[in-house]
Chain A
Amino acid sequence: DQQVKQNSPSLSVQEGRISILNCDYTNSMFDYFLWYKKYPAEGPTFLISISSIKDKNEDGRFTVFLNKSAKHLSLHIVPSQPGDSAVYFCAAYVDYKLSFGAGTTVTVRA
């Protein structure tokens, strides 16, 4: 029973444009939401997080938006760079556990 869903398996974006990744969740008890970035043959690396009591968090080129009523969050990357090409996982946290989505593969075209 997947509590965190990423419905877009892939996203292709031109360098310099905005990348928007989406994530939906079902468990209203989640305390925090996170985005992880993963390169091939490496482990996921923490990118940005947001508390369930916030609706926006920004860190450089990365902004995460949370819409609790819709149980939806998104990650905006502006501007997109070639090094951003990776798999992005949405994750949600409660009771010491992270629940992950299936990931979205982002390809940034030159």
Chain B
Amino acid sequence: DTAVSQTPKYLVTQMGNDKSIKCEQNLGHDTMYWYKQDSKKFLKIMFSYNNKELIINETVPNRFSPKSPDKAHLNLHINSLELGDSAVYFCASSQIGDRGPSYEQYFGPGTRLTVT
């Protein structure tokens, strides 16, 4: 009964390919996030959606495009993959508003992307 799930867990692909990572949460949260953990182990926010609306869009190449079909899902599409995109990508969710502390984010297990 996973709260935040991501698929796939591992993804190995070649430069230039297009790939997607899926994320689903069953916590009833209204806000979802994508983070990237780079080789230096820093977790950095990439995007955030609140009720399917983009609220955070950090300085990320436009090859990265998030898509939120509904509140429970936030997918990440990456076009023309580059070697530097190799990292672990984490999805997270939280509740903004009266129902809970928005700063408390729940993370998925991560997707390790390797670009060769």
Contacts and interface: CB of A to CB of B under 8 A. Distances in A.
B69 interface: no
B103 A43 contact: no
Contacts of A34: 103-104
Nearest to A93: B103
Contact of B107 (A43, A99, A102, A103): A43
Nearest to A44: B107
A19 B18 CA distance: 44
Interface in A69-103: 87, 89, 91, 93, 96-103
Interface residues of A, number: 24
A81 B102 CA distance: 30
A44 B102 contact: no
B51 to A, nearest CB: 13
A44 B90 contact: yes
A43 B109 contact: yes
A31 B24 CA distance: 28
A43 B40 contact: no
A107 interface: no
Interface string B28-52: 0001000000001111110010100
Nearest to A46: B104
Interface string B90-115: 10100010000111111111100000
Contacts of A26: none
Nearest to B55: A96
Interface of A: 2, 31-32, 34, 36, 41-46, 49, 87, 89, 91, 93, 96-103
